Amino acid sequence: MASAKTIPLRSDIGEQYKWNAEAVFPSRAVWAAEFETVNKELDLLAPFQGHLGDSAGKLADWMELSTSLIRRVSKLFFYARMSQSCDTGDEEAIGMTGQAFGLYARVGAATSFSNPEMLAIGEAKLMSWVGSESRLSTYGHYFHDLFRQQQHVRSPEVEEILAMAGEPFGQTDNTADMLTDADMQFKPVVIDGQEMPLAQSTKDTFLEGSDREARKQAWENYADTYLSLKNTLTSNYLASAKRDIFYARARRYDTALEASLFQNNIPKEVFHNLIDTYRKNIPTWHKYWAIRRKALGVETLEPYDIWAPITKKPPVVTYEQAVQWICEGMTPLGKDYVGALRNGCLEERWVDVYPTKGKSAGAFSFGTYDTAPYIMMSFDDSLGALSTLAHELGHSMHSYLSRKNQPYVYGDYSLFVAEVASNFNQATTRAHLFKVNSDKDFQIAVIEEAMSNLHRYFFIMPTLARFELEVHTRIEDGKSVTASDLIALMADLFSEGYGNEMHVDRDRVGITWAQFGHLYANYYVYQYATGISAAHALSAKIQAGEAGVAENYIKFLSTGSSLYPVDALKLAGVDMATPEAVERTFEVLAGYVDKLGELTA
């Protein structure tokens, strides 16, 4: 929709291509009124403190009231943050986001006594209440998980302090967003004397273009801006990592990794299997870089060549065509799934579609139990944009089905399973695209999109996971970590993955860590790689027409958090406690590499 030369204002975009904010709150005045009401009603929580064990009815009253208020706070926060993300120059939205952060911290502090009090009631008594009080009948798994984590729940006073710390600690994430999305100004790309603005929302347009000089300038100018702020970015990231370690130690975990895995009952083997299998299969990536270098006809492959188009005739894909192809690809999942997806894209305005001035980089699916599962992205009429849309719709349909089939307490799902649904949609849509057009250039373009996606999830994310593990371990061991240390570590890890086929500009490659806000979520990035592994394993079963797989996959999407993540994936048909799914995805990757080699020979 927008070239690198022009970034439209939000007011230039048709309403049908903007998320339906009015369906969440009719106006910001209504949002403000709800904020004040909820802020006052939080006082209703205090009288319950010390009385949750009085009776089953009293506990059920607490669950109803606290859940209602948390749902309302979540909706307030979503509206503010989504508004800010779509226009980071909207100061009113920024202020609203800050208010909502504060309200989240307050509700966390006001409810912090509940877990210790429920633990004091005892598991046997709580489970008997689940059987006798109808309003508690859905909480069996929730209470079981609470007692599983009992050893890491602290006293009411400590829990209150930990909850209160959420607001100031949360500022590291917001600081990163403000610094990289709002404050950073990038040196423009200059071609034939013409300046073209470089921004978060246009960077990919340059890097995916055929002009090598434009790619070079965009990549270098982008990295150089981050490097110019390397000390500030390092300080902020280390504060985030130390926050992870603080929370882990406060809850009596040995490491931040253990805290992250234990939260969702994930075996340690899942993380280490991924890293070990990735390192074993790095030569597959080396082979890909060699094929890409030859296909592009360059003597030395540079990092800014990773996304350069190999095909000379990349397809133009409109938003409407993308929706159509995704719906066709998802046909094995049934008409209810496809109907909800199509309606969300074309009628209910789930998607904020096109790039605009001030829009945050990247794409995400976001919403609450009481809203549609909205999507923010910057669609640019490419196969890559189609793939991004398919990815985010996987998240949105996962949310849609979880909320439709589960009560609020289980209406969300863990990060570990989140990336399965998104990558499943991409893999399954991609399989459909291979069938609809046998043209050589189209097939190459589909493989390029696949490799771009796998590069992000199966190369960058395992590398960032190794980086995150090393940084956290150094801090946990009391070692010093500086900006130079982070850059050197990142450069070393990428050099291993690039092998001899890629020239490594150590400083510019080394600052890559600062370009991924995902690192501000404790051990999040590895879950992209495990997610794409499970996704490809399940998609392969769908493509093979295995009986019952589609039905079991829909059941998986509908479980929310009513099952532990590894158990939910077993229901779908994949066991992530073994390296099999990761190995299977490397086989898929190797197949794409070989096919690309044949098509470009």
Q: What is the mean pLDDT of residues 59-80?
A: 98
**DSSP conformation class of 209:** S
Q: How many Cβ atoms are within 10 Å of 321's Cβ, its own excluded?
A: 13
Q: How confident is the model at residue 242 (pLDDT cuts 50, 70, 90)?
A: very high
pLDDT of amino acid 164: 87
- Return the percentage of the chain with pLDDT > 90, whole number: 88
CA distances 252 to 245, 271, 414, 529, Å, are 10, 20, 22, 28
Output the six-digit token pair for 475. 């801090």
Range of the domain at 134: 10-171
In the beta sheet, which residues pair with residue 189?
196
Report if residue 108 sits inside a domain. yes
Contact 186, 226 (CB under 8 A): no
Structure confidence by residue, pLDDT tens digits, 397-406: 999 999 999 9
Structure confidence by residue, pLDDT tens digits, 576-588: 999 999 999 999 9
* Residue 76 half-sphere exposure toward CB, CA atoms < 13 A: 28
Residue 5 pLDDT > 60: no
Q: Provide the annotated active-site residues.
A: 392
Amino acid at 128: S
pLDDT of amino acid 234: 97
pLDDT of amino acid 202: 85
CA distances 109 to 56, 112, 114, 191, Å, are 23, 5, 10, 55
Structure confidence by residue, pLDDT tens digits, 371-430: 999 999 999 899 989 999 999 999 999 999 999 999 999 999 998 999 999 999 999 999
Q: What is the mean pLDDT of residues 4-10?
A: 74
CA distance 537 to 584: 7
CA distance 420 to 276: 20
Contact 391, 422 (CB under 8 A): yes
| Residue given tokens 């022009």 in the structure block | 6
Q: What is the CA radius of gyration of the chain?
A: 24
Q: What are phi and psi of 286, to 5 degrees?
A: -60, -40
pLDDT of amino acid 575: 94
Report if residue 52 sits inside a domain. yes
For the chain, the average pLDDT equals 94
CA distance 258 to 265: 10
CA distance 382 to 356: 17
Counted residue by residue, the chain has a size of 601
Q: How many domains does the chain have?
A: 1
Output the six-digit token pair for 30. 């209504």
Report if residue 112 sits inside a domain. yes
**DSSP conformation class of 497:** H
Q: What is the mean pLDDT of residues 183-198?
A: 94
Q: How many Cβ atoms are within 10 Å of 286's Cβ, its own excluded?
A: 15
CA distances 334 to 107, 327, 366, 485, 556, Å, are 40, 10, 24, 51, 15
Q: What is the CATH number of the domain that holds 44?
A: 1.20.140.70
Closest CA to 256 of 563, 103, 88, 476: 476
CA distances 551 to 403, 417, 448, 499, 533, Å, are 18, 17, 31, 42, 20
Contact 201, 355 (CB under 8 A): yes
Residue 4 pLDDT > 70: no
Q: How many Cβ atoms are within 10 Å of 530's Cβ, its own excluded?
A: 28
Structure confidence by residue, pLDDT tens digits, 119-163: 999 999 999 999 999 999 999 999 999 999 888 888 888 888 888
Output the six-digit token pair for 329. 């690809």
CA distances 528 to 31, 418, 455, 518, 533, Å, are 34, 9, 11, 10, 9
Report if residue 466 sits inside a domain. no
pLDDT of amino acid 153: 82
Amino acid at 487: I
Report if residue 267 sits inside a domain. no
Q: What is the mean pLDDT of residues 348-356?
A: 96
Residue 75 pLDDT > 80: yes
Structure confidence by residue, pLDDT tens digits, 485-543: 999 999 999 999 999 999 999 999 999 999 999 999 999 999 999 999 999 999 999 99
Helix, strand and coil in the chain, % to nearest 5: 70, 5, 25
CA distance 189 to 352: 27
pLDDT of amino acid 2: 41
Structure confidence by residue, pLDDT tens digits, 218-235: 999 999 999 999 999 999
Contact 376, 366 (CB under 8 A): yes
Q: What is the mean pLDDT of residues 251-274?
A: 94
pLDDT of amino acid 201: 78
Q: Which helix (H) or strand (E) holds 195?
A: strand 194-196
Predicted model pTM = 0.84
SS3 374: strand
| Residue given tokens 């190369």 in the structure block | 459
Residue 3 pLDDT > 60: no
Burial 367-387 (b: 16+ CB within 10 A, else e): bbbebbbbbbbbbbbbbbbbb
Output the six-digit token pair for 442. 């189209």
Burial 452-483 (b: 16+ CB within 10 A, else e): bbbbebbbbbbbbbbbbbbbbebbbeeeebeb
Structure confidence by residue, pLDDT tens digits, 433-476: 999 999 999 999 999 999 999 999 999 999 999 999 999 999 99
Report if residue 48 sits inside a domain. yes
Report if residue 363 sits inside a domain. no
Report if residue 241 sits inside a domain. no
Output the six-digit token pair for 157. 């006073």
Contact 179, 233 (CB under 8 A): yes
